[in-house]
Amino acid sequence: MSTPREVTLIPGDGIGPAITDATLRLLDAAGAEFRWDRQLAGMAAVTDHGDPLPEATLDSIRRTKLALKGPLETPVGKGFRSINVALRKEFDLYANLRPAKTVLTNTRFENVDIILVRENTEGLYVGAESYIKVGNDPQAVAQSVAVITRGGAERIVRYAFEYALKHGRKRVTVVHKANILKYSQGLFLEMGRKVAAEYAGRIASDDKIVDACAMELVMKPEKYDVIVTTNLFGDILSDLTSGLVGGLGLTPGANIGYDCGIFEAVHGTAPDIAGKGIANPTAVMLAACQLLDHVGDVPRADRIRAAIGATLRERKVVTGDVGGTATTDQYTDAVIARLKS
Ligand code: NAI
């Protein structure tokens, strides 16, 4: 037996601990060789350490270079900045890979298989926000600056094309809003076209304005293969693509840098169902499969994905968000039983 790979585990807030526990149970049943270093972040860390991102958590990821993460609560409009954004910055996790693939049958679309590659460190998420005082009102004007760099645009587009080559994909679509945001989005599109030209003859490419892309995605999602786009558009479009295949409960996301990867669900802490034992753990389970892919254990990831797919398609023991009545634990047991059958 090989030495288990150490991975930082951040259970997270809300439904996080329940769905990460379920995922660990499944990984154990599949014989995955990981040693977990449990660490806190988000509200759970504020409660315990008075710090939403303790140094011990950062040190652990610096050492392991890998983390499986539950969702973290971020106060809206005030309070500390998003820990997810901070982690992406700290480890330069510039590529956010969000696949959306049809698993359930009898949904609106049967053949969706989209890889959305979102730039994860730039754009409107750089945190360059300020107020301007006008008269007596100190917050009369609010501004948020979008930053696109030539280097940042080039590396994310290249990542998308390299991903397409490695995984037998046919087309990469560069999604932008360069018609209006001629500088920032214009630079992204310029770099998109430059990199696309290098792959001509190997990977087809096109570009689409984000609003037209959103419309097409809900009408003809089968047309799309790999999409690469800037941070905010990627955030929004990836929720859209997860809606095409059955909702947030089913969509994982990998945050990848040069030497570090953090794997998580696309969804948040689901405060409305936290503590009820009914959350769908599939997205984190599929994120764990992305982790397995990342460390080269693709056959085990494929076995787990097949067990999840079969359980979901059968629709006998599935959670409420996908039309069933099963609890998180019952669903997890059903996936494990499939894995072993
Ligand atoms: P959300 O994704 O937590 O919930 C949206 C809706 O989807 C809710 O109705 C929820 O019940 C449902 N849902 C989400 N995941 C589910 C699952 N696994 N099973 C069944 N139903 C599920 O989004 P919301 O409410 O906007 O955000 C709540 C909190 O999560 C906020 O503090 C937000 O900042 C944080 N968040 C954290 C993320 C992360 O850590 N990666 C990502 C997105 C949001």
**DSSP structural state of residue 147:** B
166 is catalytic: no
Which DSSP string corresponds to 276-326? TT----HHHHHHHHHHHHHTT-HHHHHHHHHHHHHHHHH-SS--GGGT---
Cβ(154)–Cβ(174) under 8 Å? no
State pTM to two decimals. 0.92
SS3 79: coil
Cβ(155)–Cβ(209) under 8 Å? no
pLDDT number for residue 312 = 94
Q: What's the chain's length in residues?
A: 341
Q: What atom in ligand 1 is closest to the CA of residue 279?
A: 19
Q: What atom in ligand 1 is closest to the CA of residue 253?
A: 41
125 is catalytic: yes
pLDDT number for residue 78 = 59
- CA-nearest residue for atom 8, ligand 1, is 270
pLDDT number for residue 178 = 97
For 11, 12, 46, 55, 73, the CA distances from 49, given in Å and listed in that order, are: 15, 14, 5, 10, 16
211 is catalytic: yes
Choosing from 235, 293, 297, 321, which is the catalytic residue? Answer: 235
pLDDT number for residue 338 = 97
Q: What atom in ligand 1 is closest to the CA of residue 264?
A: 41
Backbone angles phi, psi at 46, to 5 degrees: -65, -45
SS3 238: helix
Distance 292 CA to ligand 1 centre (A): 24
pLDDT number for residue 247 = 82
CA-based nearest residue to 72, from 15, 25, 122? 15
Domain ranges of the chain: 1-94+248-341, 108-244
pLDDT number for residue 85 = 83
Distance 72 CA to ligand 1 centre (A): 9
- CATH code of the domain made up of 1-94+248-341: 3.40.718.10
Backbone angles phi, psi at 252, to 5 degrees: -95, 170
Which DSSP string corresponds to 144-174? E--B--HHHHHHHHHHHHHHHHHTT--EEEE
If one residue of 231, 235, 245, 269 were mutated to test the ligand 1 pocket, choosing by the most ligand atoms within 8 A of its CB, it would be 269
Which value, to the nearest 10 degrees, does the dihedral of the CA atoms of residues 54, 60, 62, 65 take?
Answer: -130
If one residue of 232, 240, 248 were mutated to test the ligand 1 pocket, choosing by the most ligand atoms within 8 A of its CB, it would be 248
pLDDT number for residue 76 = 61
pLDDT number for residue 108 = 80
Choosing from 211, 223, 276, 316, which is the catalytic residue? Answer: 211
**DSSP structural state of residue 256:** E
If one residue of 20, 251, 267 were mutated to test the ligand 1 pocket, choosing by the most ligand atoms within 8 A of its CB, it would be 267
- CA-nearest residue for atom 38, ligand 1, is 268
Written as tens digits, the pLDDT of the chain (341 aa) is 578 999 999 999 999 999 999 999 999 999 999 999 999 999 999 888 888 999 999 999 999 999 999 999 976 655 667 888 889 989 999 999 999 998 887 678 889 999 999 999 999 988 899 999 999 999 999 999 999 999 999 999 999 999 999 999 999 999 999 999 999 999 999 999 999 999 999 999 999 999 999 999 999 999 999 999 999 999 999 999 989 998 888 999 999 999 999 999 989 999 999 999 999 999 999 999 999 999 999 999 999 999 999 999 999 999 999 999 999 999 999 999 999 88
Distance 218 CA to ligand 1 centre (A): 21
pLDDT number for residue 77 = 56
Q: Pocket residues for ligand 1 (CB within 6 Å)?
A: 15, 71-74, 84, 248-249, 264, 267-273, 279-280, 283, 321
Distance 267 CA to ligand 1 centre (A): 4
User: Could you say which architecture CATH assigns to the domain 108-244?
Assistant: 3-Layer(aba) Sandwich (3.40)
Q: Tell me the angle at which helices 184-198 and 150-166 cross, rounded to the nearest 10 degrees.
A: 40
**Other CB atoms within 10 A of residue 122 CB:** 20
Do the domains 1-94+248-341 and 108-244 sit in the same CATH topology, yes or no?
A: yes
- CA-nearest residue for atom 36, ligand 1, is 268
Please tell me the distance from the alpha carbon of residue 122 to that of residue 144, in angstroms, as a whole number: 12
pLDDT number for residue 138 = 97
Tokens of 84: 């997810």
CA-based nearest residue to 70, from 281, 320, 232? 281
Please tell me the distance from the alpha carbon of residue 57 to that of residue 8, in angstroms, as a whole number: 8
Choosing from 159, 163, 177, 207, which is the catalytic residue? Answer: 177
163 is catalytic: no
Cβ(296)–Cβ(261) under 8 Å? no
One-letter identity of residue 256: I
Q: What atom in ligand 1 is closest to the CA of residue 73?
A: 32
Choosing from 37, 69, 94, 125, which is the catalytic residue? Answer: 125
